[in-house]
Amino acid sequence: MSADTPRREEKKIVKQIEIDAPVEAVWRALSNPAELTRWFPLEASVEPGEGGKLSLSWGPGWEISSPIEVWEPNRRLKTAGQMVSVEWTLEARGGKTIVTITQSGFLTGADWEQEFYDSTDYGWRFMLVNLRHYLERHAGQPRLVAWSRYKSSLAREAIHEKLTGARGIFEEGTRGFLNEGTRYALQNATGELWTGRTEFVVPPRGFCVSVDSLKDALVWLTIEGSGEHDVQLWFSTYGLPQAQVSEIEKRWAGVLEKILGS
C-alpha cells in the first residue's frame, strides 16, 4: 500500500431505541409489509422465514431485496445482502421494547465509502425515530409521504447554512430554536407557524421535528451524497388526505429551489 492510498477499515453501525409498545407490535412493524410502509419504505414485500426475502422500495433506483438469514419472531431478524447485513434484535422490558439494529460490512477509506457509512448512520437515526413515532403515536394508521428534493453542487456545509440560517426553512433559522428533546415554535418559509417537538439536530446533515398542524407528522431534512448533493425534505404524515400531501411535496420542492438556487 502506497503512502497516499487510503487505509480501508471494516465498520458497523449499532443503534438502539426504547419504544413504548409490546414486542409483538414491534415485530409486526419489522416483518409485515403493510406495517413496514408506515415507518420505513414506500413499498414492501416479505417472504417470511429463514431463506425468505425482504424487499423494500422508495421508487425506481431505490430498491433493496435481501435474503433472510435469521427469522425468530419477536426476537431477531437478520438479512444479508452482497455488501452489508442488517440485524434487528428485540428485548421486552416492562411492557416496552428495546430495539437494537446492527448493520455491518461497511468499508471505509475512500471518500465515497465514508459518505455511504455516514449517510446510512444518519438515515437509521431518522428511521428508528419514525418507527417509535409510528408505534407510540399513530399505531395502525397508514402513512403518506411527501418527498421534496433538490440537487445542489454547493458544499454540504453551505447547503446546511442556507437551509438552517435566517430566511431558510424557518424565517428565524434553527440555531437556538431547535434543541433535541424540546418543544419549538417557528414560522416557516411558507408563512405557516409550525410547533412540535425537536427529535434531533445533526449539523451539517439536517434535523427532524414533529409538526402539530400536520396531524403530528415528522419532517426530516437530509443532505445526501458527495460532489453534487441530493437535498431532501421528507414528510411522514398520518391522517392527511393525498391531495394535501401532494401539495406539501410540490410546495416544499419550490422552497428548496428558491433557497438553494439563488
- Confidence band for 161, pLDDT divided at 50, 70 and 90: very high
Domain tally for the chain? 2
Structure confidence by residue, pLDDT tens digits, 34-58: 999 999 999 999 999 999 999 999 9
- Do 232 and 215 contact (CB within 8 A), yes or no? no
* Domain that residue 67 falls in: 9-137
Statement to judge: residues 18 and 129 lie in one domain: yes
Structure confidence by residue, pLDDT tens digits, 221-242: 999 998 899 999 999 999 999 9
Mean pLDDT score, 142-162: 97
| Domain end marker among 137, 157, 177 | 137
Structure confidence at residue 227 (pLDDT): 84
Distance (Å, whole) CA 253 – CA 233? 8
Q: How many Cβ atoms are within 10 Å of 231's Cβ, its own excluded?
A: 25
- Confidence band for 131, pLDDT divided at 50, 70 and 90: very high
| Domain end marker among 137, 161, 194 | 137
Q: How many Cβ atoms are within 10 Å of 253's Cβ, its own excluded?
A: 16
Distance (Å, whole) CA 211 – CA 181? 14
CATH number, domain with residue 167: 3.30.530.20
Statement to judge: residues 149 and 112 lie in one domain: no
Greater confidence (259 vs 62) lies with 259
Statement to judge: residues 114 and 193 lie in one domain: no
Cα 196 to Cα 37, 96, 214, 251: the distances in Å are: 23, 24, 10, 20
| Domain end marker among 88, 122, 137 | 137
Question: What percentage of the chain reaches a pLDDT higher than 90?
Answer: 87
Q: Are strands 96-108 and 217-224 parallel, antiparallel or unpaired?
A: unpaired
Statement to judge: residues 150 and 88 lie in one domain: no
Structure confidence by residue, pLDDT tens digits, 173-216: 999 999 999 999 999 999 999 999 999 999 999 999 999 999 99
Structure confidence by residue, pLDDT tens digits, 73-99: 999 999 997 678 999 999 999 999 999
Structure confidence at residue 113 (pLDDT): 85
- Confidence band for 22, pLDDT divided at 50, 70 and 90: very high
